[in-house]
Amino acid sequence: MKPIVSCRGITKVFGKGELAVHALRGIDLDIMEGDFATLAGPSGSGKTTLLNMVGALDHPTAGEVAIDGQPLSGMSKSALSDLRLNKIGFIFQAYNLVPVLSARENVEFVLRLLRVEPAERRRRADEALAEVGLQGMEGRRPSALSGGQQQRVAIARALVARPRIVLADEPTANLDSTTTKELVDLMYRLNQESGITFLIGTHDPRVMEHSKRHIEMNDGQIESDTRG
Amino acid sequence: METFKLLAPLAWRNLWRNPRRTIITLFVVSVGLWSILAVASFISAWAQSSRDATLRLLIAQGQIHAVGYMDDPNISNLMPPPDEALVAALDTSGISNWVARLELPGVVQSEYKTLPVSLVGVDPEAERRISSIPSKIVEGRYLDGPEDDSAVIGLNLAKRLKTALGRRVILMVTAEDGWLEERSFDVVGIYDADTAFEDTYIFTGRRPMQAMVGVGDKIAQIAFEVPEDAALAGVVERLRAAAPTLDVREWRKISLIMGAMDATMGGVVFIWMAVMMVMISIGVINTQLMAVFERTHEFGLLRALGFKSRHVLLLVTFESVLLIGLGVLIGMIAGAATVWGLSDGIDLSAFGKALEAFKAGDTLYLEVNPIDYIIFPLAIWALGVVVALWPAYRAQKISPVEAMRQAT
Ligand SMILES: Nc1ncnc2c1ncn2[C@@H]1O[C@H](COP(=O)(O)OP(=O)(O)OP(=O)(O)O)[C@@H](O)[C@H]1O
Ligand SMILES: [Mg+2]
């Protein structure tokens, strides 16, 4: 089986000389189709930095990231934008949604960038929102939704364009335990039923409970990578 | 087009996320433009009013002389009365009024003083139609007819000569034969214009003056008036064709100072515009930079989702286009409303003497000048959008990594 994401010898250094921070120190990692992987580790261990590399948001200092077998180095910013649009769904910790757009418009946004026809766009957005349990709230702005509901919209948006992989960085950080459980169950169900690949950076044990694969980072390196 | 449909509503909604700030910017832009339009209307009304008032005294809108008279206004440079062709042209060229005058430099003498003046021989009936002097008599009367051999002098000149109504003054003018001709005149009227004018011009009937200097029916000038300044150039052309041997000029070439003033009035408006533009630029850059920095995370998010940096640039520029466009629109409406609101005229008579120096009439009539309403709004809009490119450029450089950053 070919990996969706493959990282070879990734290092990332912020700053120069005395002040240089080695955020990643040689990461080799393959994310396989259907993985529901959690990425854990102490604060500052490099989880977010690694997700940035995998999500084509930032360039590694050295090493190579490939998505679907396509190496990212040498791609233009515009091509990277297109790649994110087509292959990667993102769920961030907070302020995930565009505040001036309704739930439906937030989900539709990605489809608009992909130039999907209006009717089709709307159908798929409403379908995705229904999938995450937000039927009847399509017209609400983010400010009129709870934190959990906002993250559901973010999940719907991450999924609506059928990406190859969904990257989430601390998606439950601001949520209470009931909401966290609901959200994790939702992502897990989507992974089980639709085979969507997830890579989730998290501190939260309730998220890790479900993981089929657990990656532990420390000081910019992968300490353990266990399936179970 | 698809991009436009995506960005336009987004830009519009973003504008109203911080209504207070948006309203302040709208206020700055619209008040700035409003003031430019108001100042432009006011200055142009003032310039026109003061110009008209000055021209109404004596110059009128144009004059015809013998060649050489303008350089050396003496008795050897007079012209014959208008021939048939010229009279026909004067009566049909779109000229509303015209007069023939004899004007020569001379000296006036009272018991106390001798002063240099310009003696003007006029046809009082015609003068009443073209000049404001007959209506500016403050003591006594204006001249009766072309045969009237008395004198009308200025208020300040009377004071300097220590003469008064009913007294006599002696006028000396070089005659045709080269001798200094002198004659005494009854002062029958005193007029009130500005001091410099009052000190210069003494009026009498044209025929007695022609007889005094022995020039037959020769005259020094024909002054003419047109209803619209815009028609002047064409009128001058036609008169030149009718009188090819004479010197036909419009007022700008007669009073060089007034011509220059006419040209510099526009400069005042442009200085004001420059000041306002600097203010507007600072305001726009300020708010748009704030609006961009506040949304660093959000732009990161948009970029992470597949927005190109070009889209971000367009979005922020779009917001500026809308914001400034709206401000410009409000400013234009406010400007036009102000001018129309004051279209009955601004009464300056209360300022009376204080404004005499500007020689404006007592009432200013403001007008909407359509060109102003195209050029100034466009200039401000363009400027606003150009300066807002800097915040837009900053926004464009925001990296998608910002989306991952935890705190906002
Ligand atoms: N833009 C940056 N400039 C300089 N240093 C950075 C930058 N981004 C991250 N770092 C540093 O890189 C290291 C790894 O950071 P990272 O955010 O990846 O950790 P993390 O595992 O996500 O931590 P947390 O659990 O707190 O989110 C940290 O030491 C951090 O200070
Ligand atoms: Mg992190």
pLDDT in tens, chain B (408 residues): 778 888 999 999 999 999 999 999 999 999 999 999 888 888 888 888 888 888 888 888 899 999 999 999 888 899 999 999 999 999 887 889 999 999 999 999 999 999 999 999 999 999 999 999 999 999 999 998 889 999 999 999 999 999 999 999 999 998 888 888 999 999 999 999 888 899 999 999 999 999 999 999 999 999 999 988 888 889 999 999 999 999 999 998 888 777 777 777 778 888 888 898 899 999 889 899 999 999 999 999 999 998 999 999 999 999 999 999 999 999 999 998 988 888 777 776 666 555 554 555 567 777 778 888 899 999 999 999 999 999 999 999 999 988 777 654
Report CB contact under 8 Å: B301, A51: no
A110 with A160: CB under 8 angstroms? yes
Q: What letter does residue B319 receive in the DSSP assignment?
A: H
Helix (H, G, I), strand (E, B) or coil at B141: coil
Instruction: Tell me what pLDDT residue B351 has.
Output: 61
| Residue A132 included in any domain | yes
In the numeric block, which tokens belong to residue B190? Answer: 């005193």
Is some CB atom of chain A closer than 8 A to the CB atom of B322?
no
Please, which residues have CB within 8 angstroms of residue A59's CB and are 6 or more apart in sequence?
A53, A72, A73
For chain A, percent of residues with pLDDT exceeding 70: 100
Instruction: Tell me what pLDDT residue A22 has.
Output: 95
Ligand 1 pocket list (CB less than 6 A): A 14-15, 21, 23, 41, 43-49
- Chain B residues touching residue A150 (CB < 8 angstroms): none
Q: Checking DSSP bridges between strand B168-174 and strand B114-122, what pairing results, if any?
A: unpaired
Is some CB atom of chain A closer than 8 A to the CB atom of B8?
no
- Residue in the structure block whose two tokens are 């089929």: A212
In the numeric block, which tokens belong to residue B233? Answer: 């150039």
- DSSP track, B153-205: EEHHHHHHHT--TT-EEEEEEE-TTSSEEEEEEEEEEEE-S-HHHHHHEEEEE
| Residue A87 included in any domain | yes
Instruction: Sheet containing A213-218: give its strands across.
Output: A88-91, A165-169, A197-201, A36-40, A213-218, A221-227
Q: What is the pLDDT of residues A142-189, one digit of tens each?
A: 999 999 999 999 999 999 998 999 999 999 888 888 989 999 999 999
Helix (H) or strand (E) holding A167: strand A165-169
- Chain A residues touching residue B6 (CB < 8 angstroms): 112-113
Angle at A210 between CA A207 and CA A216, to 5 degrees: 65
Q: What is the pLDDT of residues A65-116, one digit of tens each?
A: 999 999 999 899 999 999 999 999 999 987 789 999 999 999 999 999 999 9
A131 with A159: CB under 8 angstroms? yes
Report CB contact under 8 Å: A95, B297: yes
Q: Closest by alpha carbon to B324, among B375, B299, B287?
A: B287
| Residue A212 included in any domain | yes
Instruction: Tell me what pLDDT residue A106 has.
Output: 96
| Residue A54 included in any domain | no
- Give helix A103-113 / helix B2-15 axis angle, nearest 10°: 150
- Higher pLDDT residue, A133 or B40? A133
Q: Closest by alpha carbon to B210, among B73, B80, B82, B99?
A: B80
Instruction: Tell me what pLDDT residue A93 has.
Output: 85
| Residue A50 included in any domain | no
Instruction: Tell me what pLDDT residue A97 has.
Output: 93
- Looking at the 3D structure of chain A, how many domains does it have? 1
Q: Closest by alpha carbon to B140, among B79, B188, B105, B180?
A: B188
The DSSP bridge partners found for residue B170 are: B109, B184
Instruction: Tell me what pLDDT residue B16 has.
Output: 93
Q: Closest by alpha carbon to B199, among B105, B138, B116?
A: B116
Residue from the list B17, B303, B404 with its beta carbon closest to the beta carbon of A51: B404
CB pairs under 8 A between A and B: 74
d(CA B212, CA B215): 8
Q: How many angstroms separate the alpha carbon of residue B48 from the centre of ligand 1?
A: 70
Instruction: Tell me what pLDDT residue B408 has.
Output: 40
Helix (H) or strand (E) holding B334: helix B309-341
B30 with B284: CB under 8 angstroms? no
- Chain A residues touching residue B303 (CB < 8 angstroms): 81
Q: Find the domain containing A201 and state its range.
A: 35-45+76-227
Return left, alpha or beta for A220; rule: phi > 0 is left, psi -120 to 50 is alpha, else beta: left
Would you say residue A36 has pLDDT above 90?
yes
| Residue A63 included in any domain | no
Is some CB atom of chain A closer than 8 A to the CB atom of B298?
yes
Check which CATH number belongs to the domain holding A182 and give it: 3.40.50.300
Report CB contact under 8 Å: A95, B408: yes
Phi, psi for residue A157 in degrees, rounded to 5: -65, -40
Report CB contact under 8 Å: B403, A58: no
